[in-house]
Amino acid sequence: MSGKKKVIAYAIYVVFLTVLFLVILFPEDTVRPFIVRNIQRVDPDISMEIGSLRPSLMPPGITMQDVTVYYQNQSMVESDNTRFSPAVFAFFRGIPAFGFKVEMFDGTVSGKCRMTSNTPSVESVVNAKISGINLAAIEELKDLLDYPLTGRVKGSFSGTLKGPAYTFASEFDIEKASATLAGRIPGIDSLRFESITGALTGDERKVTVERLAANGPQVDAELTGDIRLRRPYEASVLNLKGFIKPHSGFISELRKVLPVDLFLRKDPGEKGFPVRINGTIGEPGFSMK
C-alpha cells in the first residue's frame, strides 16, 4: 500500500473510531439538563422531560425520544421522536440556529429556529411545516372541547417568541374532518367536512381568524373574527361571524326533529344564512340573523 493510501486509510479509521466513541460515550446525563435549561431560558413557564437522547450522524445533531413539553406544568406536546440539527453556517455568523423535526400526534412538524439574542430573555424565530397531524390523537384538545374531533392537519406556521410574549401566523388545511355532536343537534350525530381551510394570526392575548372555510356533504361555512384568550383556555371569549349554508339533505334530516322552517329564511342567498358565535370555548353560543 502506497503512503498516500495509508494516510487515507488511517484517516478513515480515526474518523470511524471518533464516531464510535461519540456514540458509546455520549454524555447523555450532561446534555439532557443543558437542553432543558436552555428551553427554560426562552420562557420560564416551559419545561421539558426527555426519555433518552443520542447523537445522530445524518444530518449531524441530536435525536431525543419520549419527549414531553409542559407549559405552566400542563402537558402540551408529546413526541416519540425529535431531532435537532445545528445550522453550522449560522453559528459561524454568530446566530444560534437549528433545524428540527418533531414526530407528534401521528404526524410531523419540521422547520428551522433561530435565536436573535443571547440575553436572558431570548428571542426565537420559528418557521415550520405541519404534516399529517391527527386531531383525534391530541388529548389536550379533547380536554378543551367536549366533543371529539377527527381529521388530518397540514399547513405552515411562523412565529416569534420572547419570554411570555409571542406572535404567530399560520395557514392550515384539515382533511376529512368531523365533529361528534353528542346530542347537541337532535337527530344529527356528527358534522362531516371534506376540508376545512383557514388562516390565523395572533399573540398571547388574542387569536384572529383571518378566514375559515369549511366544505362538506351536510353544510358549507365561512367564519372570521377573533378569540380573546383567557386562562383556563375554556374561558376564552368567542367573537366570530360568518355564513352557514346547509345542503338540502341536511335540512331534510333536521325537519324530522326540528321546526327548521320557522328560523330558516326561504332564500339564504349565495353564501347562506348569517351566523354569529359568541360565549366561550367551553360554552359557545350561536345565533342566526
Instruction: Give the pLDDT confidence score for residue 119 in this predicted structure.
Output: 58
145, pLDDT greater than 80? no
Predicted confidence (pLDDT) per residue in 86-104, tens digit: 765 454 455 677 888 899 8
Mean pLDDT of 163-174: 88
- Can you give the pLDDT at residue 17? 39
Give the span between the Cα atoms of 243 and 262, in whole angstroms. 18
Distance of CA 161 to the CA centre of its chain: 15
The model's confidence at residue 185, banded by pLDDT at 50, 70 and 90, is low
Mean pLDDT of 135-143: 82
Sequence length of the chain is 289
Q: How large is the average pLDDT for residues 156-165?
A: 85
pTM for the predicted model, two decimal places: 0.77
Tell me how far apart the alpha carbons of residues 180 and 183 are, in angstroms, rounded to a whole number. 9
Asked if the model's pLDDT at residue 163 lies above 80, the reply is: no
R_g over Cα of the chain: 25
For residue 85, pLDDT over 50 is answered with yes
The tens digit of pLDDT for each residue in 18-31 reads 444 444 444 566 66
State mean pLDDT over 265-272.
69
Predicted confidence at residue 14, as pLDDT, reads 41
